[in-house]
Structure 1
Amino acid sequence: MIYLFFAHFSLGVILFFLINWIGRHSFSMGYMEITLFIKDEEAPAINYLIRVLSPIVYIIIVSSILYLLNLDEYVYNIYFVNIYYISFRLFFNIITERGPLLNWSKQIIYWVSIILLSYLIYDKIIRHRENVLPDFTTIANELWIIILVFIFQIVNGVKLSNDGQVRRKENYLTYKYSHFKKKFGTIISENTKNDALEITAYSILIYEDFNRPLVARWVEYLTFFLTRKKHSLGVMQFPTDKLVNDQQSVDLGTKKLREKFDFILKEIEENPEVDYPEYKIEQDIIWHYNGGSRYYTEIMELSSSIRSEFYSNSKEYLLPLTE
């Protein structure tokens, strides 16, 4: 039955990437991604339903397609698809070091719900070929749907506290800042020569590391070796056509920030009549490193958190304070 294992495991991995894609494109539906920044969970009911019911709907649809193709043998114990999906998600969160950001008690509730519902749906519906498609022939079914929608709308109006989420993300930020300061602090300090620019450097470093964890960077190195084309490499994701390690990427990345900062300062010196506010300097430096309004916004939010947490006594900004 090894072929059944590989088929179900592959379907579980596909489900993992499919749900991640749904998450990135479903903010209007209330789905909450795991991001580095704090967002209120304003639609807990939808969030729970998407996380728990999506895998259930997935195996029902897959089973229907398999039955249609007369591949009934692949439907046997298809609830294991969702067990493999959960296992792969757990493995992914561990190797990408996102565990500290997770509410593990909530994740366990999600996973137990998924496994129990998956088995129940398989045992009562999916395993019987004639029961895969829902039966809406009776008025009782329709009535219960209306009642459930009504209850759902009430529950979905509840706004949950994000205190635990705030605490986990603050701990994550503290850990990452301390880790990078110990590992690259000398390089960053020597290259930036300014507290405000140093904060920006740490913000970019933490953000890039979060979105390009070690495993993803290994894939980028492999792609670079195979194609020999320009890639963003290292922990600071410095774009280059040469092989660089994490330390070199931080060195090159922070020098790039400082060069842009020096260029702006020279422009201000040569054109004193031009108004160049602090936020515009920050924006130009960040956009020079990696363009995009979302990237700029998130780096600025992260910079604000880092300044308040680790640089509260610093009075150094990109521009000198004036009376």
Structure 2
Amino acid sequence: MEDYLLQITHIILGIVLFFIINWIGKHSFSVGYMQISVFVKDDNAPAFNVLVRILSPVVYILIISVILYKLNLDSFVKNIYMISIYYLVFRLVFNLITNRGLLINWGRQIFYWCSIVLSSFYVYKELIIEKKNLFPDLSTWTNQIWIIVLIFIYSVFNRISLSQKGTIRRKNRYLENRYGKFNTKYGIYIDENIDNIKLKMIAYAIMIYEDFNRPRIVRFLENIAHLITRKEHTLGLMQVKTKSLIKDKQSVELGIRKIVNKYLELIEYQKVKTVENEEERKERKNKLFVESGIVIPESSYKYEPSDWEVSEGIIKDYNPDYNYINEVQELSEILIKKYYPDSETTLIE
């Protein structure tokens, strides 16, 4: 019974470690930490990334061990290096069930896994088993010299630029997989409702981006939360706000309708703004205001609308977050270049 409780405790602590490291990653972009992303970003701090990934579990089990010893729960320290293994298993399962497998550099991951397991086991055997070994020995200058040497090595490696070819290849493969799947499942419906190539790619970009951040397992949990609370939620593949439980196909239909309606609204908005005749412009402006609530500035004669502005307006209506808008716009441009390289289609035709 004690061994069973020990394993359960270690598994829970391993899962907690997963969420802690994800939180650290999310809040550490200023120091170069990289997350798995749809977009290719330069690794400006390779040494930092390696150290965070390898040493975080080791530091975590050291801190947990100290806490357990202080609480006189010495029995839970037994084989505490297993927390790192449970953490790695949970991370692997999470990445696979959320379709992130195509984005993973498996060779690098295997290196991380081996390093984490070996370093965790070494620290457990050499430091954690004996309480007295948990505290650093600063009685000699040797320790301090080695700290300086390690800091120097870290600084050198942190300035190395790594090739992005493998990353670009994996992310292109991921985009091809996601686009191909969604095009097969929903392409006919999208083609029936959208003629403009650029608008289609915005729709697919939103679909891919939402799926990346709200994978199937998360959407399943959102459906359960909706059934329990009966409150309005954003549900389905395209994360449409609804009071009713909907499937992915329904969310795509509602999402496409929302995108098309906003597109038509913005195009009409731009047309009204370009009308030079004051009386005609006011008449059309008032009609549009009544129908959609859009306020058009009086000083908008000869307004030259930009394609980017219309694109931004469509995406902003879907999600006003600044990063969301930029990344979906960037993703839609990537899709156009990849699948319609010779297209000169614009949103404002």
RMSD across aligned C-alpha pairs, in angstroms? 0.9
- Who is 2:82 aligned against? 80
The CA deviation at 1:282 is 0.6
C-alpha offsets along residues 120-147 of structure 1, whole Å, 9 cap, x if unaligned?
Answer: 0000000001111222222110111011
Structure 2: gaps of 5 or more residues: 275-301
- Who is 2:324 aligned against? 295
> Equivalences for 1:70-149 in 2 at 5 Å?
70-149=72-151
Checking the alignment, whether the CA contact within 8 Å between 2:267 and 2:310 is kept in structure 1 is no
Checking the alignment, whether the CA contact within 8 Å between 1:194 and 1:316 is kept in structure 2 is yes
C-alpha offsets along residues 20-64 of structure 1, whole Å, 9 cap, x if unaligned?
Answer: 000111112221111110011121111000000000000000000
Checking the alignment, whether the CA contact within 8 Å between 1:192 and 1:255 is kept in structure 2 is no
- Who is 2:291 aligned against? none
1:111 partner letter: W
The TM-score with structure 2 as length reference comes to 0.90
> Equivalences for 1:146-295 in 2 at 5 Å?
146-272=148-274, 273-295=302-324
Identical pairs, percent: 45
SS in 1 for 2:173: helix
Checking the alignment, whether the CA contact within 8 Å between 1:287 and 1:296 is kept in structure 2 is yes
1:245 partner letter: K
Between the aligned partners of 1:265 and 1:34, the Cα distance in structure 2 is 36
2:66 partner letter: S
The TM-score with structure 1 as length reference comes to 0.97
Between the aligned partners of 2:271 and 2:42, the Cα distance in structure 1 is 43
Larger relative contact order (CA 8 Å, sep ≥ 6): 1
Between the aligned partners of 2:44 and 2:318, the Cα distance in structure 1 is 33
Between the aligned partners of 1:267 and 1:57, the Cα distance in structure 2 is 57
C-alpha offsets along residues 252-274 of structure 1, whole Å, 9 cap, x if unaligned?
Answer: 10110110111111112222133
Between the aligned partners of 2:146 and 2:251, the Cα distance in structure 1 is 59
Checking the alignment, whether the CA contact within 8 Å between 1:191 and 1:251 is kept in structure 2 is no
Between the aligned partners of 1:302 and 1:271, the Cα distance in structure 2 is 29
- Who is 1:317 aligned against? 346
Bigger radius of gyration: 2
- Who is 1:44 aligned against? 46
C-alpha offsets along residues 254-297 of structure 1, whole Å, 9 cap, x if unaligned?
Answer: 11011011111111222213332111101110000111110001
Which piece of structure 1 moves more, 292-301 or 306-315? 306-315
Between the aligned partners of 1:44 and 1:207, the Cα distance in structure 2 is 26
SS in 1 for 2:260: helix
Between the aligned partners of 1:185 and 1:17, the Cα distance in structure 2 is 36
| Count, aligned residues | 320
